[in-house]
Amino acid sequence: MRQKKFEVSLIIPVLMSFFVMSFIDLVGTGVDELKKDASVPAYILQLIPFVAFIWFFILSVPVGIWQDKVGKKKALNVAIIITAVGLMFPILGNSFPIILIAFSLLGIGNTILQVSANPLLVDVVPPGRS
């Protein structure tokens, strides 16, 4: 049996999406920075991780259905754009509402990334190597 050749050019964009997924780890750093700079009570600051991670619960199934309709690559591109907007949003300021919106966008982008990138990785890696 002849084994399909492994093409690095196909897997690099998918691996980059996993790198982008790591930006959701900025939640802890964002909470710490806002704790220093803002006069927001600690129990309110816990909304930041909540809004970042609640999107997994809300959007996982709908995004899976959507990415089947539009395609994994297109969904992955949308996710990277949403994540980039979320990362740039704090440029507008360091207030609690802005940070809350930024981490909401990170949560949405990361949810779409995880739903799209994992199956896409299986598609670009030859059988027996995934």
Q: DSSP of 47-73, one letter per residue?
A: HHHHHHHHHHHHHHHHHHHHHHHH-HH
- pLDDT by residue (tens digit) across 43-59? 888 888 888 888 888 99
Nearest-angstrom CA–CA distance, 45 and 25: 16
pLDDT interval class at 66 (50, 70, 90):
very high
Reference 84, options 15, 12, 17; nearest CA is 17
- pLDDT by residue (tens digit) across 70-105? 998 899 899 989 989 998 988 988 788 888 898 899
Spans of all domains in the chain: 18-124
**Phi/psi of residue 95, each to 5°?**
-90, 160
- What DSSP state is assigned to residue 3? P
The pTM of the full predicted model, rounded to 2 decimals, is 0.74
Residue 123: what pLDDT? Answer: 73
E strand or H helix at 16, and its extent?
helix 8-21
Residue 1: what pLDDT? Answer: 47
Q: Report yes or no: 113 and 20 within 8 Å, Cβ to Cβ.
A: yes
Angle between helix 96-124 and helix 8-21 axes, rounded to 10 deg = 150
